[in-house]
Each structure stands twice: as structure tokens, then as C-alpha cells.
């Protein structure tokens, strides 16, 4: 074996990395167990608050040492192998930022009839197009008013400097497109900050490419209504005056005395705060001096400005000193009192350890504490933590001065524009312009607060509190300071957040209860273990020592998959587990190809050493071709899929790569090591040698009956679909679904009758889901209304309908919603994914085999397999065996495409080999020998994968039932089509005397 040392070193490195990253998961589980042990009483009950308190206490503490490196519990959690929402419960949401409202706002809410018609037309076009909305709007406006000029609608004060009356339509559209993109990005940043402050462990938020949509996953949430309001609320940008430390310190001193008395009386239990007071004060004082010096420099540079006035980013040194002295005086007066333990000096003010903020919030929420402070004083936290010593993080605490009516003196509506720029010295700054009305308010606000801070507040968090250096008139301002470019861009985005309304709406939602998640974990583990056992037992029984070695390679394969997922911070989902189980079955294929080749070479009487070498060498290119085609289907699935489908695709692609490495390289190392040690190697028995020894059949003889059989099944299936309609899931047709559990079984038809009136005769389906006492309710009631109000209305209707089963304690375990526009997009992307996979495979096969006939045969067989799965589902539905066609179903179809072409490529490879060896023969003369010689591999691989998927069907749970059933059907018809569809089509389309002999890309390496 060439490059043996390299393979050994690479295996060792990958194994060490996988072990390292998986170790974080074991440590995290250990800390969780310690927390549960700490919170468990004598009766075995777990106090969840006490458990969380324990976890909070170690959040910033080292809990894991690895080769001298120390990791806190937070870092351990960030590096562990996460679990998807379907395995631990939580909420999945897809939000859409409305470009319509943004365009309306840019137009100054124009009432121009052609403008409004163009917007309405663009919304219609969007239903059947993948173009972005601004492009469709431009197309619609040309259609409505061919000679119209958009500049007459958009050249207003809001767009001054960007759009003039002379701007062309193309220039206007470019500006609109940029503003829409900026608004989506602002919404993304605002949502990310809101989620970070929401306190969810390991949230996931990402933009969906090519759309104005944002996908959010929130594990473990228990208040969906609060999340919906949080995510769909408009950004609230405000400008507030700020109290100086000198002004609020007397009230703090009074509060400190009160808290100290309560603590001594045992009425105040704050626990221990982790702030290392002396060190933090020293560091904060140094930081304050450094920041103050930078600010003084900024002020000097800004002194000569004319058309705009600079604001310093942070409080000058003298105010930092006041803050530090305030804390110091409190600490000295109280001799380590409550406030001295909770608060610390910060650059420009005071603050607290992030871990102490919850305690401080509790204190300041008490009525007796609020009574100490003036009515016009309220307190807000800064948005970004500042790093301190010992891995501690601190956040600033601001005393905000409320106006007479309690409202902010100025809101984000006053901001016309804000952008990141550079000052004359090349330092980042933010240039901000106000609307005419806003400019007057800004002049009054800055004039009243010269030498004081003005806080820029978004959603009740302070993003910046610059010091006003003088009254700012004219509405132009520059905010300067020691910004990084990223900080300046972020602040500019925040300032623009109030300028452009960009409302978001939930177009897809899924909620999984924790009990359902735990059940999914159990089912996933059981199906994985059972699938692994099936493969292990079969391989040993069939290939003996060789099978045992292949099993060891499979163990490496699973280990690598989990380890690499952990390295990339990917979450393991239930479809991901399905991908692992499927990979186990498909990984066997490479070993089967190798062993079958070795048996062929052994039958020629070659020495065992040469048998091993030829077996691996001749199988290599076939294994590579088979894996590339399957990987291609997985890649397309990943690119166009979302949510669980994307998780499945990631695991499938990763499994293909790792199975190739383990099957081709690691198994060879083990095989050669075993042979070297024992001097012999068994990879068959007398029984297995005889099993496929006398296989004889004529494919071309059966091609017409096969064509007729396939056409009959397809016709029956599509007639059944026409009669009853396709059983599409919620994500393909829109609507809402709920998993409801009762204390005992109730007929699904009876429950549907109880619900139909409440759902106002809308399309409603109720069926048993997994257990006999668990039902899945699907309804199209208010499917076109994606508002939160509609969500609540449908949920209320469901609960009212279940009222007659109140004695059976009905509980909603999970729910999901897909809006009509989202459903349309999912259908389109599913169709595109299917077509692209066929096109991609056609091109690859044509490239590898140098004949379009091979590509045609392979792709027709794949299309046959996909249609067969759909047809059989429709036939089963006609006879009362109902399974939904949803995104996971499409994942199964695309996976079968990968599996089926895998099998077909192996057969084609043997046909190509025979064509090279017998150039004068027509393909029709060599097709049967090629099929017979690869028949054992075809049956063994199909049988193994079928058994693994059957285990998944039995033990994988109801969520994956549709997926695994589609896979089972696909495996059967995929094997059938490779033999009786793909091969005959190649024969029927290839000329009797080919003009040229197909030439392989490199020296032929074939296998069964």
C-alpha cells in the first residue's frame, strides 16, 4: 500500500481531533449531572432553579483541563456536540422582512396609483419567481407605466443625496435594492441582539441566502408567545439624557445602607458575587484613563469642524474618575457592603459583572427600592460586555433621565440616515443626518446637554453614550471615538434602525416539547444501535474475518462523523441520526465492492497478497464514482434544503467522505496488518461462495415486461393521486399542525368531527401519530394569515374543539406553521433540487463514461425511481395507509437518487470494462455478463441498506416514518431499475457499430 505512513499519521491526527472535540460533550454531561445531583433532594426531586443556580455559578469557572489548557463551562458548552430542537425541544422560526413596507417608506408612503399597482403586481410575480423583490418591482412598474420615472416618486427628503429627480429608473432601483438589503441586515443584527439578551442557551440565527428571511432556533424555550412578540416587535430606537455619577451617587448610598440592613437581618440573600473587586477596580481605572485620553484627542481633532459637530464615544477622564470615586466611596463607607460587591467602576461610568445583573435587576424591581430614586430616573444596561480579568465580563449601568411624560426626548424617526465613514485621520466614525423635524429636536437635546452624555438606546439597551461637545444644528453630526470599523458599522446600523420600518412576520414555525425531544433521542439511539448491529452481524456472517475488519472501519466511521460534527459546532438532529444510520448501510457498499473483487481475483488462483492489492486497486475508481454521485445529491439537498433537511444533508455528505476514507484506507491498513500477522485471511465461506455461483438471467428478454410493469404502477399511482389528491405535508401546502397527546386512545375520526366546526369547515386532517393516544392535527384554517393573532385564533379553536375530551387531559406536545408563500417557495426549491440533481448526475456520468447513452440510461432510471416512490405513496394513501409528502420525504427521494445511481454506476463500470476488452462486440452482447458478474454486489448492498432502513422504519419514530418508508420503496425500485431500466436503455440507444470505443479517463479500475 502506497503512502501507508501518511494514512497512519492522518488517521491518528483525525482520531485525536475527534476525541478532543467529543471530550467537551462528555465534560458538559458531567457538569449537568453534578448540577442535578446538587439540586436533587432526599426524595429524588430536582429543583430546576437550584440546578440553574449551580450551572450559573460555574459558567465562567474552569471545569475542564486538557494538556494544560483550561476551559470554563461556557467554553465547554460552546464546543460540545449540540442537539437539534427535535432532540431537546425548543422553537424553530423563519422570519421574513417585508420589502413592501420598506419601499413604501422610501416613497414617503406615496399614493401614486401606478406605484401601488406596481407593488401589488410585484407581490403576484413573487409567488412564481426566485428573483428578489426589487427586481420584480422594477419589472412590474415598467409593465404598469412603461414610460414612467421612479425618481418622481422617490426623490424626497428621506432619499436626499441618493436619489434626485434626474436619476434613472435603474439608479433608483439600485438605491432601493441597497436599502432593502441594509434593512434586512439591520433586522438580523437587532434580532441577534434580542436573542442574546433573551438568555437562551446556544441559540442559532442565520440569514437564508437569496431571500429576505432569517432562520432562528431557540432550544429549550417555554414561552412561545413571548418569543413571537420579541421577534416581531418593531425596533425601538430612542435618545435619552443621562444622569452623571455625581447626581445619582447619593441615592446609591441610601440604597446601600438599606440593603446592608436587610442582609444583616437575613432578609436579603444574594448569594456570592464573583467580582474580584480590587483587581477589577484597578483595571477599570487604567482602562478609564486610556479611554479618556483617547477621547481628549478626539475632542481636539473635532474642535475645528464647521458643518457637523463631533460627539465623543465615551465619558471623558474626569467623569470616569467620578465614577471610580463613587464606587470607592461606597466601598469604603460600607466596608464591603452589598453595592460594593455588586458594582464596579467602568470606563466612563459604573457597571457590574454580567453574572450579577440578574440580582441587580431583582433589587431595582422592588417597590421600596424604586421609592428611593426620583421618578424621572430609570436604569438601563449597556448592550456589549467588556472583558475583565479571570475571564470575567462586565457591562455598563446607566442612569437615564426620563422626560415629563416618561417618553424619550427623541426617537429613531428623527434619523434620516447614518453611515460608517472615516475622519481626516483615517479613524472610523459615524456620520448621522436628521430629518428637518429631527434636526430641531436634536439641536434642543444637544444644546441642553453640553458636556453630558446622550444615550443611544435600542430595545432598552444602551449601544453608545457619547458626550455632547456643543449644540448641534443643521441636523448633521459625527460620532467619533476609539471605534473599530465593525463597531462603527454596527452603531450606524442601529441609528438607521428607527429610520426605515422593516416589519418582520413569521412565515414558518415549529415548536417541539421537551418530552417529545427526549423520546426522539431514545428512538434515535435505538435505531442507530440496532442498525449498527444489523450491519456488524451480517458482515461477519458473510465475509468472516474480512467482515470483522470492515466492522472496525464502520466504528471508525461513526466516530469520525460525530467528532467532525462537534468540530464544526454542528447540531445533531433526528434526520441527522437518520443520515448516520443510512451511512452505515451505504458504507458497507465499498467493502462489498472490495471483497467481491478480491473473491474474483482469488478464484483466478493468485497469491493472497496480490489478491488484496488487486481487490483494492480495481475497486478504487468505482467506489469513487459511486460516492461522488451520492455526494452530489447530498450537496444539492443541502443547498436547497432548510432546517431538518439541511441537517440530514450535512450528515450524509460527511458520512460519504468518512466512509470513503475508512473503507478504502483504514480497512486496507487493518487487512494488510491482519494478513502480515497471521499469514492468511478469510473473506468468504463455502456457503457464500456458492450463493451467487449459478446466477443466470437475460435482462433484454425481460425489458418489455419491466417497462410495462413500471408504466402500470406509475399510471395506477397517478390515477390514485388524481382521485384523492396528493397527501402533501404542511410545509408544501401551508397551514398549521399540532401533536396532541391524551391519557387514552381516541379514534382520529371522532376528534376530527369535534374540531371541524371550530376550524370553520376548513381542510382538517387528524391521524394517529406514533402511540395510539397521540394524534396529529393538520388544518388549513387561516393558512393565508401568518399573523400572531391568527396563530392564537387557530390554537384557541383547537383547544375549544378538544374541550369535550377535557377528562383525558389533552396536551399539545408540539406545533408547526408554514405560511402560504413559504410553502410555495419550499415546493419550488424541492423541484429545483430534484431537477438539478438529475442534470448534475447526467453530466458527471457522461464525463466519466464518455457516452451520453450511459447518462441517459442512468437519469431515466433515477426519474423512474423518484416517480415510483410518489406513485406508491399515492396508492397506499388510496387504501388508507397515509404518509405525508414533505421536505423530509424529498430528502428521501434525493437520497434514493444517490443510492440508485451508486448501484447503476457500478454496473456501468463493469460494462465499460467489457467494452474495452471486447471492442468489436456490441453492448447488447456483453450486458448480461456484466450484470451477472455484479449481481452479488447489487443484492448484498441493497439487502444491507434495506435492513438498516427497515430498522429505522421500526425504531426511528413517527417523525421519520415517512422518510424511511420512502427509502424502503426507493431501495427496492432503485435495485430493480439498475437492472431492468438503466441497462436496457443503454442497449436500446447505442448504435450497433459504435463510431469509437469508449475510453476510460485513466487505467480501468473496476469492481463488482
CATH 1.20.1640.10-classified regions of the chain? 512-688+697-722+824-989
Is the model's pLDDT at 868 over the cut of 90?
A: yes
User: How would residue 713 be classed by pLDDT, with cut points 50, 70 and 90?
Assistant: very high
820 has a pLDDT exceeding 90 = no
Angle in degrees, CA 341, 344, 347, rounded to 5: 175
Identify whether the C-beta of residue 624 lies closer than 8 Å to the C-beta of residue 611: no
Query: What pLDDT shows up at residue 316?
Result: 36
The percentage of residues in the chain with a pLDDT greater than 70, rounded to a whole number, is 86
Binned at pLDDT 50, 70 and 90, residue 472 comes out as confident
C-alpha 343/C-alpha 331 separation (Å) is: 9
Residue 566 pLDDT level (bands cut at 50, 70, 90): confident
Summarize the confidence of residues 754-769 as an average pLDDT.
79
Looking at residue 995, what is its pLDDT? 47
**CA neighbor of 106 nearest in space, from 625, 516, 500, 504:** 500
What superfamily does domain 735-815 belong to in CATH? EIF_2_alpha (3.30.70.1130)
Which ranges in 429-513 belong to alpha helices (H)? 436-447, 485-497
How many CA atoms are closer than 13 Å to the CA of 640, on its beta-carbon side? 24
Digit-coded pLDDT (tens) for 488-535: 887 887 777 665 556 677 777 777 766 666 677 777 778 878 878 888
Rounded to whole angstroms, how far apart are CA atoms 109 and 102? 10
Whether the pLDDT of residue 300 is over 50: the answer is no
Phi–psi pair at 402, nearest 5 degrees: -80, 150
Nearest-angstrom CA–CA distance, 20 and 259: 47
Quick check: 511 and 224 in contact, CB under 8 A? yes
Are 77 and 209 spatial neighbours (Cβ–Cβ below 8 Å)? no
Distance (Å, whole) CA 933 – CA 622: 15
* pLDDT, mean over the chain: 79
Residue 109 region by backbone torsions, left for phi larger than 0, else alpha for psi between -120 and 50, else beta: left
Flag whether pLDDT at 1006 surpasses 70: no
Model pLDDT for residues 598-628, shown as the tens digit of each residue: 888 888 888 888 888 888 888 888 888 878 8
Look at residue 299 and tell me whether its pLDDT is greater than 90.
Answer: no
Q: What is the DSSP letter of 450?
A: B
pLDDT of residue 373: 92
pLDDT digits (tens, 9 = 90+) for 396-418: 999 999 877 788 888 888 888 88
975: pLDDT strictly greater than 80: yes
Q: What angle do CA 707, 710, 714 make, to 5 degrees?
A: 135
pLDDT at 304 exceeding the cut of 50: no
Q: Is the pLDDT of residue 871 over 90?
A: yes
Mean of pLDDT values over 306-314: 48
Mean pLDDT of 362-388: 87
Nearby residues of 348 by Cβ (< 8 Å), 6 or more positions away: 288, 291, 292, 314, 315, 319, 320, 323, 396, 465
What is the structure's pLDDT at 312? Answer: 54
Give residue 461's pLDDT: 86
Segment 828-839 shows an average pLDDT of 80
> How much helix, strand and coil, in percent to the nearest 5, is found in the chain?
60, 15, 25
CATH superfamily of 512-688+697-722+824-989: Multidrug efflux transporter AcrB transmembrane domain (1.20.1640.10)
Residues of the chain within CATH 3.30.70.1130 domain(s) are 735-815
Rounded to 5 degrees, φ, ψ at 1007 are -155, 170
The CA distances from residue 242 to 158, 253, 256, 446, in Å, are 29, 19, 21, 12
**Which of 44-48, 120-124, 597-601 is the least confident region?**
44-48
pLDDT band at 709 (very low <50, low <70, confident <90, very high): very high
Cell of 576: 441527522
Question: What pLDDT score does 289 carry?
Answer: 34
CA dist., res. 976 & res. 872, Å (int): 15
> Which three-class secondary structure state does DSSP give residue 382?
strand
Task: Select, from the ranges 23-37, 318-332, 726-740, the one with the highest average predicted confidence (pLDDT).
Answer: 23-37
Q: Which three cell numbers stand for residue 548?
A: 470483522
Q: What does the alpha-carbon distance between residue 396 and residue 462 come to, in Å, rounded to a whole number?
A: 9
CB atoms within 10 A of CB 1002: 7
Q: Please, what is the Cα angle at 438 between 437 and 440, to 5 degrees?
A: 70
CB-count exposure of residue 270 (10 Å: 0-12, 13-18, 19+): middle
Phi, psi of 366 (to 5 degrees): -75, 135
d(C-alpha 80, C-alpha 299), whole Å: 47
Assigned C-alpha cell, 890: 424529498
Q: Please choose, from the candidates 679, 657, 800, 791, the residue with its C-alpha nearest in 3D space to the C-alpha of residue 736.
A: 791
Percentage of the chain modeled with pLDDT above 90? 7
Torsion sign, CA atoms 913, 919, 923, 926: negative
How far is CA 284 from each of CA 349, 454, 576, rounded to the nearest angstrom? 10, 22, 47
d(CA 744, CA 207): 43
Q: Model-level pTM? A: 0.67
Minimum mean pLDDT range among 425-434, 563-572, 578-587, 744-753: 578-587
Q: Which of 218, 178, 180 is nearest to 196 (CA)?
A: 218
Looking at residue 789, its pLDDT comes to 76
Q: In the chain, what is the straight-line distance between the N-terminal and C-terminal CA atoms, in Å?
A: 21
- Which helix (H) or strand (E) segment holds residue 133: the answer is helix 133-144
Q: How far is CA 42 from CA 33, 48, 110, 411, 763, in A?
A: 16, 15, 69, 55, 52
Q: Which of 274, 446, 453 is nearest to 348 (CA)?
A: 453
Q: What is the dihedral of CA 141, 145, 150, 151, to 10 degrees?
A: 170
Contacts of 309 by beta carbon, 8 Å cutoff, 6+ apart: 302, 446, 469, 470, 471, 472, 477, 478
Buried b (16+ CB within 10 A) or exposed e, 188-205: bbbbebbbeeeebebbbb
Q: pLDDT grade, residue 141 (50/70/90)?
A: very high
For the chain, the C-alpha Rg in angstroms (whole number) is: 34
Amino acid at each position: 500500500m502506497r503512502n501507508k505512513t501518511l494514512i497512519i499519521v492522518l488517521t491518528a491526527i483525525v482520531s485525536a481531533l475527534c476525541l478532543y472535540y467529543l471530550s467537551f460533550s462528555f465534560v458538559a454531561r458531567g457538569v449537568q449531572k453534578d448540577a442535578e445531583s446538587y439540586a436533587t433532594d432526599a426524595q429524588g426531586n430536582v429543583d430546576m432553579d437550584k440546578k440553574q443556580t449551580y450551572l450559573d455559578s460555574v459558567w465562567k469557572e474552569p471545569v475542564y483541563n486538557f494538556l494544560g489548557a483550561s476551559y470554563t463551562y461556557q467554553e465547554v458548552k460552546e464546543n460540545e456536540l449540540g442537539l437539534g430542537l427535535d432532540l431537546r425541544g425548543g422553537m424553530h422560526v423563519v422570519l421574513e422582512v417585508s420589502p413592501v413596507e420598506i419601499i413604501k417608506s422610501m416613497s414617503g408612503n406615496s399614493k401614486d396609483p401606478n406605484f401601488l399597482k406596481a407593488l401589488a403586481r410585484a407581490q403576484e410575480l413573487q409567488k412564481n419567481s426566485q428573483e428578489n423583490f426589487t427586481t420584480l418591482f422594477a419589472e412590474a412598474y415598467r409593465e404598469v407605466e412603461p414610460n414612467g420615472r421612479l425618481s418622481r416618486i422617490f426623490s424626497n427628503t428621506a432619499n436626499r443625496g441618493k436619489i434626485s429627480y434626474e436619476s434613472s429608473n435603474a439608479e433608483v432601483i439600485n438605491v432601493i435594492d441597497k436599502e432593502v438589503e441594509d434593512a434586512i441586515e439591520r433586522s438580523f443584527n437587532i434580532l441577534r441582539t434580542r436573542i442574546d439578551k433573551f438568555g437562551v442557551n446556544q441559540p442559532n440565527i442565520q440569514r437564508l441566502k437569496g431571500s429576505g428571511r432569517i432562520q432562528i432556533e431557540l432550544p429549550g424555550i417555554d414561552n412561545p408567545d413571548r418569543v413571537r412578540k420579541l421577534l416581531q416587535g418593531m425596533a425601538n430606537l430612542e435618545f435619552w439624557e443621562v444622569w452623571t455619577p455625581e447626581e445619582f451617587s447619593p441615592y446609591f448610598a441610601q440604597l446601600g445602607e438599606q440593603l446592608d440592613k436587610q442582609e444583616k437581618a437575613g432578609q436579603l440573600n444574594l448569594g456570592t458575587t464573583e467580582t474580584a473587586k480590587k483587581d477589577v477596580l484597578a483595571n477599570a481605572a487604567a482602562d478609564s484613563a486610556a479611554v479618556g485620553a483617547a477621547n481628549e484627542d478626539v475632542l481636539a481633532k473635532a474642535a475645528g469642524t464647521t458643518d457637523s459637530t463631533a460627539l465623543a464615544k465615551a465619558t471623558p477622564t474626569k467623569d470616569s474618575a467620578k465614577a471610580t470615586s463613587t464606587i470607592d466611596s461606597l466601598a469604603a463607607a460600607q466596608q464591603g457592603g452589598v453595592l460594593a460587591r455588586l458594582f464596579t467602576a467602568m470606563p466612563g461610568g459604573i457597571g457590574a459583572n454580567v453574572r450579577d445583573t440578574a440580582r441587580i435587576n431583582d433589587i431595582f424591581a422592588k417597590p421600596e427600592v424604586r421609592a428611593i430614586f426620583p421618578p424621572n430616573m430609570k436604569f438601563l444596561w449597556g448592550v456589549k460586555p467588556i472583558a475583565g480579568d479571570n475571564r470575567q465580563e462586565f457591562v455598563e449601568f446607566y442612569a437615564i433621565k426620563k422626560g415629563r411624560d416618561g417618553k424619550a426626548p427623541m426617537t429613531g424617526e428623527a434619523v434620516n440616515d447614518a453611515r460608517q465613514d472615516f475622519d481626516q485621520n483615517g479613524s472610523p466614525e459615524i456620520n448621522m443626518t436628521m430629518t428637518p423635524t429631527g434636526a430641531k429636536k436634536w439641536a434642543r437635546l444637544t444644546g441642553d446637554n453640553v458636556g453630558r452624555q446622550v444615550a443611544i438606546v435600542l430595545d432598552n439597551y444602551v449601544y453608545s453614550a457619547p458626550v455632547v461637545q456643543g449644540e448641534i444644528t443643521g441636523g448633521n453630526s459625527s460620532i467619533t471615538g476609539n471605534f473599530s470599523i465593525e463597531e462603527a458599522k454596527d452603531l450606524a446600523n442601529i441609528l438607521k434602525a428607527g429610520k426605515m420600518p422593516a416589519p418582520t412576520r413569521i412565515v414558518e414555525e415549529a415548536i417541539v416539547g421537551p418530552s417529545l425531544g427526549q423520546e426522539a433521542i431514545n428512538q434515535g439511539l435505538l435505531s442507530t444501535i440496532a442498525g449498527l448491529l444489523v450491519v456488524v452481524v451480517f458482515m461477519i456472517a458473510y465475509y468472516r474475518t474480512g467482515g470483522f475488519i470492515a466492522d472496525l472501519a464502520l466504528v471508525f466511521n461513526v466516530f469520525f462523523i460525530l467528532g467532525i460534527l462537534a468540530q464544526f459546532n454542528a447540531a445533531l438532529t433526528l434526520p441527522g441520526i437518520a443520515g448516520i444510520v443510512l451511512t452505515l448501510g451505504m458504507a458497507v457498499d465499498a467493502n462489498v465492492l472490495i471483497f467481491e473483487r478480491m473473491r474474483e481475483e482469488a478464484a483466478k488462483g493468485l497469491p493472497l497478497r496480490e489478491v488484496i492489492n488487486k481487490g483494492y486497486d480495481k475497486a478504487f475508481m468505482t467506489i469513487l464514482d459511486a460516492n461522488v454521485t451520492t455526494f452530489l445529491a447530498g450537496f444539492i439537498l443541502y443547498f436547497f434544503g432548510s432546517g431538518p433537511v439541511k441537517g440530514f444533508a450535512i450528515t450524509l455528505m460527511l458520512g460519504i467522505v468518512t466512509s470513503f476514507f475508512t473503507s478504502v484506507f483504514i480497512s486496507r491498513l487493518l487487512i494488510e496488518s491482519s494478513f502480515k500477522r497471521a499469514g492468511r485471511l478469510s473473506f468468504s465461506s463455502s456457503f457464500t461462495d456458492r450463493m451467487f455461483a449459478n446466477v443466470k438471467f437475460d435482462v433484454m428478454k425481460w425489458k418489455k415486461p419491466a417497462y410495462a410493469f413500471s408504466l402500470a404502477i406509475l399510471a395506477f399511482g397517478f390515477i390514485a393521486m388524481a382521485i384523492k389528491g396528493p397527501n402533501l405535508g404542511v410545509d408544501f401546502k401551508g397551514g398549521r399542525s399540532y401533536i396532541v397527546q391524551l391519557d387514552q386512545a381516541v379514534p382520529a375520526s371522532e376528534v376530527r368531527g369535534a374540531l371541524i366546526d371550530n376550524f370553520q369547515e376548513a381542510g382538517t386532517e387528524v391521524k394517529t401519530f406514533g402511540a395510539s393516544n397521540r394524534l396529529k392535527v393538520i388544518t388549513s384554517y387561516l393558512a393565508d394569515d401568518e399573523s400572531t393573532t391568527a396563530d392564537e385564533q387557530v390554537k384557541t379553536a383547537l383547544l375549544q374543539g378538544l374541550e369535550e375530551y377535557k377528562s383525558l387531559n389533552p396536551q399539545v406536545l408540539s406545533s408547526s406553521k408554514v405560511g402560504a408563500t413559504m410553502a410555495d417557495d419550499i415546493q419550488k426549491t424541492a423541484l429545483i433540487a430534484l431537477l438539478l440533481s438529475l442534470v448534475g448526475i447526467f453530466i458527471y456520468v457522461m464525463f466519466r463514461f464518455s457516452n451520453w447513452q450511459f447518462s441517459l440510461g442512468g437519469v431515466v432510471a433515477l426519474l423512474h425511481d423518484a416517480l415510483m416512490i410518489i406513485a406508491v405513496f399515492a396508492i397506499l394513501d388510496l387504501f388508507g395507509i397515509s404518509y405525508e409528502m414533505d421536505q423530509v420525504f424529498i430528502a428521501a427521494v434525493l437520497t434514493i437518487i444517490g443510492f440508485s445511481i451508486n448501484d447503476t454506476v457500478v454496473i456501468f463500470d463493469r460494462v465499460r470494462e467489457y467494452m474495452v476488452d471486447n471492442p468489436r462486440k456490441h453492448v447488447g452482447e456483453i450486458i448480461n455478463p456484466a450484470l451477472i458478474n455484479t449481481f452479488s454486489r447489487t443484492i448484498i448492498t441493497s439487502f444491507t441498506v434495506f435492513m438498516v432502513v427497515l430498522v429505522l422504519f421500526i425504531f426511528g419514530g413517527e417523525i421519520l416514518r415517512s422518510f424511511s418508508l420512502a427509502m424502503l420503496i426507493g431501495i427496492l425500485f432503485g435495485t430493480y431499475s439498475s437492472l431492468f431500466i438503466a441497462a436496457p436503455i443503454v442497449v436500446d440507444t447505442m448504435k450497433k457499430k459504435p463510431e469509437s470505443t469508449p475510453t476510460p479517463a485513466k487505467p480501468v479500475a473496476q469492481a463488482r
